[in-house]
Amino acid sequence: MADATPTCAACKKTAAAAKVDALKQCAKCHITLYCNRTCQRADWKPHKKICSLSYVERNAEHSNTYSAPRLNDLETHIPNPFTKLVEGTYLHDRPEKDVYKLLIDSFRMRQADDKNLENKIAPRSINSGASSSIEPFRKYLDLAATRKNLLPPWWNAEKRKECEAFGESGAWQDLRRDVTKQQVINRYGDDKMPMQVRMVAEAVYGAGSMGQDGTFMRKQLSMMEQGGPGNGQHMRMLNLG
């Protein structure tokens, strides 16, 4: 994923253009940036739905380092998932079934977010009355295949068919069932797992739900994984309350 200079969600200015030392994060969701409280108030109406996503939990914001835990239900441990998200190689160096699970759950999490935040329902999905979301998932895989290097080098037509079949195999990652953020946390044993799969879907679609851009947060958490501070900005918060 390409790097980007952080900008205020309201006025679209960088910190330098707004003449402030650093942009400040919304104290509730810990991802959306503003140059001051005036801009935060101006953006609150469209932001309040996105805010509920809560990409980053508070305990990560008050730490200078981040160590990814070993996840339940995945065979291979990846110690630097956010660095790999920044590099665009999150799905690389993983066993086939781990990739299938992550693709399916990134799709299911995005479908849930689109439904809950925008009442946006994919045709021929379980949310529109179908018995399975296999058809919109196939379109998701079509789009993923157009994203350079997003899918692992071993991915091919045969592996795609295996992934689709796995999505209707009765495994926990089942395209015939909806999923919630808490269920993803419980399944994988990490409160940041919903953020990871949401960012995979962002890579596929080119933007997060409601147009959310996680570029800055990916970069920040990547720095934390490498033992560095979150660019000095993760302690700067704006709170409308």
pLDDT at 24 over 90: no
Indicate the angle between helix axes 193-205 and 134-146, nearest 10 degrees. 70
pLDDT in tens, 200-227: 999 999 988 888 888 888 888 888 887 7
- Which residue is listed with tokens 């195999």? 169
pLDDT in tens, 76-90: 999 999 999 999 999
Residues 6+ apart with CB under 8 A from 9: 32, 33, 34, 39, 43, 47
User: What are the CA-CA distances from residue 80 to residues 47, 59, 68, 102, 219 (Å)?
Assistant: 29, 18, 6, 16, 12
- Residue at 113: amino acid letter: D
Q: What does the block give as tokens for 110?
A: 């995005």
pLDDT in tens, 44-97: 877 876 665 554 444 444 444 456 889 999 999 999 999 999 999 999 999 999
Q: How many CA atoms lie within 13 A of 162 on its CB side?
A: 13
What is the pTM assigned to this prediction? 0.77
Residues 6+ apart with CB under 8 A from 123: 135, 136
